[in-house]
């Protein structure tokens, strides 16, 4: 995994890469480039490349003084799963969340993403809630690290 490069998106091209991974893995909640631009202002986003090949992205929703919970989400494109890339993104997000003072760590996975649910459970997350957003047909699963 020495060729894995993780970067924060700092250009529209990189934001489009983050958008592509997100929209591929979460087809029920398609984000526009403007949506991604808004997210990068309030969250910590990262991209993972193997050489020049895009393999995944992550999101850290940081804790606040009012809500000491951070949400860590790692997304890996299907052809690149099972190679440790999700582990790396998750570990980075978890470390940063703790550095920012998170007292609780959560993640959220689309219920149809069986690989993502398995990954979260393997890493000590337990399901705390399932819900449908307006217009959705596939539930979201909130999980908490125990």
Total number of residues shown for the chain: 146
- Residue 1, pLDDT > 60, answer no
Domains present along the chain, CATH in parentheses: 4-145 (3.40.630.30)
- Residue 146, pLDDT > 90, answer yes
Digit-coded pLDDT (tens) for 98-126: 999 999 999 999 999 999 999 999 999 99
Contact, 51 vs 3, CB < 8 A? yes
d(CA 66, CA 59): 20
Is the pTM value of this prediction over 0.85?
yes
pLDDT at 2: 62
Q: Is 142 helix (H, G, I), strand (E, B) or coil?
A: strand
Digit-coded pLDDT (tens) for 18-47: 999 999 999 999 999 999 999 999 999 999
Contact, 20 vs 54, CB < 8 A? yes
Q: Which of 84, 133, 124, 132 is nearest to 104 (CA)?
A: 124
């Amino acid at each position: 995994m020495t060729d894995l490069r993780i970067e924060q998106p700092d250009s529209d091209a990189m934001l489009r890469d983050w958008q592509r991974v997100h929209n591929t893995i979460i087809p029920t909640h398609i984000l526009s480039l403007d949506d991604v631009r808004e997210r990068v202002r309030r969250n910590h986003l990262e991209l993972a490349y193997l050489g020049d090949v895009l393999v995944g992205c992550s999101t850290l929703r940081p804790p606040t003084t009012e809500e000491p919970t951070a949400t860590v989400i790692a997304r890996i494109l299907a052809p690149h799963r099972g190679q440790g890339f999700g582990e790396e993104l998750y570990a980075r997000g978890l470390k940063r969340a703790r550095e920012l003072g998170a007292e609780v760590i959560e993640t959220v996975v689309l219920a149809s993403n069986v690989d993502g649910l398995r990954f979260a459970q393997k890493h000590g997350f337990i399901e705390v809630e399932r819900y449908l957003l307006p217009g959705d047909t596939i539930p979201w699963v909130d999980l908490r690290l125990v």
